Structure 1
Amino acid sequence: MKTITDSTPVSEIMQASRPIVVKFEAKWCAPCKAMTPLLLDIEQQLGDKVGFYSANVDHCMLIAQRYKVNQIPALLVIDKGAVTAMRTGAASKAELLQWIKQAIPEFGDQA
């Protein structure tokens, strides 16, 4: 999972060649920490089909404001420059995987 900050070029996120999942988190957030290993497992499972990024809200205030993130953990799916889904709160690995697959049209009926 790649880390992004406010200094990360917007083009890296908006013009990514594949869909991406951005996890907004903070070091002091227990549910955020609990979701990290789940998302790392999903990242391995999906291989190169989806990019995964983490954004610490303490260092990504501008990005968090841009995407109207006001609660963490928050997940965004960005595909072809557009946010296709957003969710907040902790979830199980199965719930996260299903949500990601539903949010990315390329997965079709695989969800």
Structure 2
Amino acid sequence: MTEQNFDSDVLKSSKPVVVGFSAPWCGYCKRLKPAIGQLAMEIADKVSFGGVNIDEEEELAKKFQVETIPSLMLVKDGQCSELLVNPPSKAAVKEWLEGKGVL
């Protein structure tokens, strides 16, 4: 995701979108990525997933006050949730989404 397509692909999306903020050099981001990918496939009918490389999209990271990566944000009906910072597991992300009422 980029600053150019964020409004159209995320804020105006017809279904909720989980935005993952990460960077290629982030070891924990790399470890979490497969779990997020599995979850994305499991719930693709309910939620979309996308990523923001904070090194390439610094303005988006600043706009959403991303200070620690990985961080996840849920965007539902154009509204952005608080960040889920450094989730420990796929189960934790799923529980977070359940708490947000999207699962």
Q: Give the 3-state SS of the residue equivalent to 1:55 in structure 2.
A: strand
Counterparts in 2 of 1:11-50, with a 5 A limit? 11-50=8-47
Is the Cα contact below 8 Å between 2:16 and 2:46 reproduced in 1? Answer: yes
Query: Once the 2 structures are TM-superposed, how far is the Cα of residue 97 of structure 1 from its aligned partner?
Result: 0.9
Query: Once the 2 structures are TM-superposed, how far is the Cα of residue 20 of structure 1 from its aligned partner?
Result: 0.5
Q: Deviations over 1:5-27 (max 9, x none)?
A: 23324232111100000000000
Match of 1:78 among 63, 75, 78: 75
Kindly report structure 1 stretches of 4+ aligned residues shifted beyond 4 Å.
none
Amino acid at match of 1:48: D
Percent pairwise identity: 28
Equivalent residue number for residue 102 of structure 1: 99
Instruction: Answer with 80-89 or 17-26: which moved more.
Output: 80-89
Equivalent residue number for residue 5 of structure 2: 8
Amino acid at match of 1:88: V
Is the Cα contact below 8 Å between 2:12 and 2:77 reproduced in 1? Answer: yes
Matches of 1:54 and 1:76, distance apart in 2: 10
The two structures have a TM-score, normalised by structure 1, of 0.85
Query: Aligned pair 1:52/2:52, yes or no?
Result: no
Quick check: which one's helix share is greater? 1
Q: Deviations over 1:48-69 (max 9, x none)?
A: 2100001100111111111111
Is the Cα contact below 8 Å between 1:32 and 1:90 reproduced in 2? Answer: no
Q: Deviations over 1:78-110 (max 9, x none)?
A: 10011134211141111111112212x243xxx
Q: Give the 3-state SS of the residue equivalent to 1:41 in structure 2.
A: helix
Q: Which runs of 5+ in 1 are unaligned?
A: none
The alignment covers a number of residue pairs equal to 103
Q: Which runs of 5+ in 2 are unaligned?
A: none
Q: What RMSD, in angstroms, separates the aligned Cα atoms of the two structures?
A: 1.3
